[in-house]
Amino acid sequence: MLLNASGCLDALTAPETARQLDAFVTKTVTPLGREGNPPVRIAETDAGMLNSIGLANPGRERFLDDVLPRLVELGVPLWVSVGGFSAEEYAETCRAIDATDDVTTIELNLSCPNVDEAPESAAEIVAACRSATRLPLYAKLSPAVPDVGAVATAVEAAGADGLSLVNTIRGLALDDALRPVLGTGTGGYSGPALKPIALAAVYAAFRAASLPIVGMGGVTTGRDALELIAAGASWVALGTVLFSDPDAPNRIREELAAELAVLGFDSPGEARGAAHRKASE
């Protein structure tokens, strides 16, 4: 039930960490290779981290020919994060991944604050991808929308098999001279301060749609993971914590088991949605 957030772990340089996970999510793959944004790309803040990587990746062909075979050797179920700048680009990559037998799930990166997004709606992109692949499709959504529940309902109707909530939210950090720290000015904000935003999004999506949810955002402890599960998540993804604690998956899994036992739950599944049951009492 533990994943990594896309882009927060390089499994080929940290295979021991990747093997602690129940599934590994790749960096976002785009049709053509991308160098990414100019430096500075990462900046620490008081309560998290800003990044402006810009979807740097080798592109679809090199990923499928070179990177994917090496990831398969890890022996961990693989989710591929797919990005693009039009619905057809997303669909083309899904079609190419579908032709392999090495991927269990596709996550559609529908909300990256560091690049221009496709002009089509999330639902239109999901629909295009649904026609291109038989693999499960998880729609990764931004918390920076007026109604996360409405978007969740729309992508469910378009054929999504699950949701990933949430992506980073746009933020800014200034240096001592009051200039933006990142080369692009703003970037995607993650870390502990993102957790209340993630909880709210998961809570809303659980109430609006019937899809399984991967909850992520600010998870550093087993208690954090449990709260996302209580809000409605079936899976939990770890992000910023992996930069500082390569043993985080094992530790958080143990902490989660202890937290469940204290509250009288026999499994994470029993705790899923508990916040909604409490709210209705």
Taking the C-alpha atoms of residue 269 and residue 277, their distance in angstroms, rounded to an integer, is 14
Contact 29, 63 (CB under 8 A): yes
Contact 19, 75 (CB under 8 A): yes
**SS3 assignment for 13-38:** CCHHHHCCCCCEECCCECCCCECCCC
Q: Is the dihedral of CA 94, 71, 226, 216 positive or negative?
A: negative
Half-sphere CA count of 168, side-chain side, radius 13 A? 27
Question: How many Cβ atoms sit within 10 Å of the Cβ of residue 278?
Answer: 9
Half-sphere CA count of 111, side-chain side, radius 13 A? 23
Backbone angles phi, psi at 98, to 5 degrees: -60, -30
What 3-state class would DSSP assign to 159?
coil
Task: Based on the residue annotation, tell me whether 94 is a catalytic residue of this protein.
Answer: no
Angle at 197 between CA 191 and CA 202, to 5 degrees: 110
Residue at token pair 């390569």:
246
DSSP state of 220: -
Burial class, 83, CB count within 10 angstroms (exposed 0-12 / middle 13-18 / buried 19+): buried
Which of these is catalytic: 8, 94, 112, 129? 112
In the structure encoding, which two tokens stand for residue 84, read together? 């693009």
List the catalytic residues: 112
